[in-house]
Amino acid sequence: MAEMGSKGVTAGKIASNVQKKLTRAQEKVLQKLGKADETKDEQFEQCVQNFNKQLTEGTRLQKDLRTYLASVKAMHEASKKLNECLQEVYEPDWPGRDEASKIAENNDLLWMDYHQKLVDQALLTMDTYLGQFPDIKSRIAKRGRKLVDYDSARHHYESLQTAKKKDEAKIAKPVSLLEKAAPQWCQGKLQAHLVAQTNLLRNQAEEELIKAQKVFEEMNVDLQEELPSLWNSRVGFYVNTFQSIAGLEENFHKEMSKLNQNLNDVLISLEKQHGSNTFTVKAQPSDNAPAKGNKSPSPPPDGSPAATPEIRVNHEPELAGAATPGAALPKSPSQPAEASEAAGAQEPGETTASEAASSSLPAVVVETFSATVNGTVESGSGAGRLDLPPGFMFKVQAQHDYTATDTDELQLKAGDVVLVIPFQNPEEQDEGWLMGVKESDWNQHKELEKCRGVFPENFTERVQ
């Protein structure tokens, strides 16, 4: 019996809910068709618009804050990897190794602390702030349903009130077939019954109206108080959130700046103790195309050894004259004495060509050029020859095809002969690049401005 009673209650609730949904749907249709008026509250509608806007802004802020935290975590990982790389390349006998290791540990701890404080003081506060919106949103929707119920009960009661006069007319003048067929003594009872039934329906409708109005007004009053307060609270929340983020970021960068300064001091100390050594470094071919404004020579296709000349790097103080681009470089220690004497015995025209070569070529070319002064300068100088471009220094032949990547570069095919000339402005020359004009173009046009261009030295081989 208890189960049946329980089932009966459940079935009753289901039937009641279904009836409510049907009544609400019918009321909404009548309101849309204009056959039933709808209770309006413009002030509350404005509050709902503000609520929706506030929810949208808060959701976006939460999303962007999570993105920011993900970026901080990614930067932490990248910084950690970079410090690990420094630890691997920092050799054990180098000074400052322990200090560099300690700086790396503090760097990692600082990133972790920054991320955790952002979570505690910004993200969790953001989650708490948004946690109140779902309940209020649900209550706003429920208040809308109760308003429809209230309008429906109001319309039902008004319709019964309108029918009251018709019922009174029926009592004064019976019109129903039942009343006509009934005996005279029974008609009074039937009329009294109809009046009682109508009064009962009207009383029930009035009770339902009062109940629906009470439920609606209770919810409406609560929301009318909460929504404006919630809307105004957004200012303080935004201020506190962004103040926390700004303060945490400021402290983080201050501490990180100190660590970076300490690391810089360690590296300066390392440089001072090892800066006087002379290293022999092999030029590494680049896989990237030459970049405009800061060109780097591209490797030849076959990786020819001739394309990677040996570069001597000296950290000793340079001569004052060599500090200016284009100034004469000091004589190479490996240059034979005979070559120096021969250089001093050159004709005036030959000296000009030698100075032009030393002022416009990188150290590796100057060293090679100076080592062969007797043979090359005398035969290759174009200072006084009309069939060669002005300033001609020597010839090279392309060993590989080179595709120009800029308007100031030469397009080379394997076998092309190029007449090398100095740069007009030595400061514009990048290491590993030469200025020249293809011999075929020069013989055909004799116009240096149209034909000259730069090309990577490691794609060519000197032939004269």
- Domain of 457, CATH number, reads 2.30.30.40
- Residue 186 has what DSSP assignment? H
Q: Are residues 120 and 157 in the same domain?
A: yes
- Residue 277 has what DSSP assignment? -
Separation CA 144–CA 136 (nearest Å) = 12
Q: Note whether 398 and 456 are within 8 A (CB).
A: no
150 alpha carbon, distance to own chain's centre: 52
Q: Are residues 254 and 300 in the same domain?
A: no
**What pLDDT does residue 375 have?**
40
Of 21-25, 156-160, 383-387, 437-441, highest mean pLDDT: 437-441
Q: Are residues 92 and 41 in the same domain?
A: yes
336 falls within a domain? no
319 alpha carbon, distance to own chain's centre: 48
Q: Are residues 184 and 150 in the same domain?
A: yes
Separation CA 102–CA 413 (nearest Å) = 55
Q: Are residues 247 and 289 in the same domain?
A: no
What are φ and ψ of residue 421, in 5° steps?
A: -130, 160
Could you tell me the residue range of the domain that residue 260 belongs to? Answer: 17-272
7 falls within a domain? no
Residue where a domain terminates, one of 272, 290, 314: 272
**What pLDDT does residue 170 have?**
53
Give the type of residue at 35: K
pLDDT at 289 over 70: no
Threshold 0.85, pTM exceeds: no
Average pLDDT over residues 375-398: 67
- pLDDT, tens digit, 9 for 90 and up, residues 41-78: 888 899 999 999 999 999 999 999 999 999 999 999 99
Average pLDDT over residues 374-384: 41
Separation CA 110–CA 357 (nearest Å) = 54
349 alpha carbon, distance to own chain's centre: 60
**What pLDDT does residue 309 have?**
44
Among 179, 198, 195, smallest CA distance to 187 is for 179
Q: Note whether 419 and 452 are within 8 A (CB).
A: no
Q: Are residues 397 and 304 in the same domain?
A: yes
Q: Are residues 249 and 196 in the same domain?
A: yes
Among 38, 68, 60, smallest CA distance to 151 is for 38
**What pLDDT does residue 16 have?**
65
**What pLDDT does residue 103 have?**
95
368 falls within a domain? yes
- Domain of 228, CATH number, reads 1.20.1270.60
Instruction: Count Cα neighbours of 431 within 13 Å in the Cβ-side half-sphere.
Output: 10
Q: Minimum mean pLDDT among 231-240, 244-253, 293-302, 407-416: which range?
A: 293-302
Q: Minimum mean pLDDT among 106-120, 265-279, 355-369: which range?
A: 355-369
- Residue 409 has what DSSP assignment? B
Among 400, 398, 390, 406, smallest CA distance to 453 is for 406
Q: Minimum mean pLDDT among 159-173, 203-217, 218-232, 298-312: which range?
A: 298-312
Specify the long-range contacts of residues 67-76, CB closer than 8 Å, at least 24 apart: 68/118, 69/115, 69/118, 69/119, 69/123, 72/111, 72/114, 72/115, 72/118, 73/115, 75/111, 76/108, 76/111, 76/112, 76/115
Q: Are residues 371 and 425 in the same domain?
A: yes
Q: Minimum mean pLDDT among 239-243, 436-440, 447-451: which range?
A: 447-451
Q: Minimum mean pLDDT among 48-62, 376-390, 402-416: which range?
A: 376-390
Separation CA 418–CA 381 (nearest Å) = 14
| Inter-CA distances, 38 with 29, 138, 210, Å | 11, 21, 17
87 falls within a domain? yes
> According to DSSP H, which parts of 173-183 are helical?
177-181
2 falls within a domain? no
Burial class (CB in 10 A: 0-12, 13-18, 19+), 462: middle
Q: Are residues 215 and 119 in the same domain?
A: yes
Separation CA 358–CA 112 (nearest Å) = 55
What total of structural domains would you count in the chain?
2
What are φ and ψ of residue 434, in 5° steps?
A: -120, 160
330 falls within a domain? no
Average pLDDT over residues 118-137: 93
Handedness of CA 3, 6, 12, 15 (dihedral sign): negative
56 falls within a domain? yes
**What pLDDT does residue 449 have?**
84
1 falls within a domain? no
Q: Are residues 263 and 351 in the same domain?
A: no
Q: Minimum mean pLDDT among 102-111, 194-203, 357-366: which range?
A: 357-366
Q: Are residues 168 and 43 in the same domain?
A: yes
Average pLDDT over residues 339-348: 42
Q: Are residues 265 and 294 in the same domain?
A: no
Separation CA 354–CA 346 (nearest Å) = 10
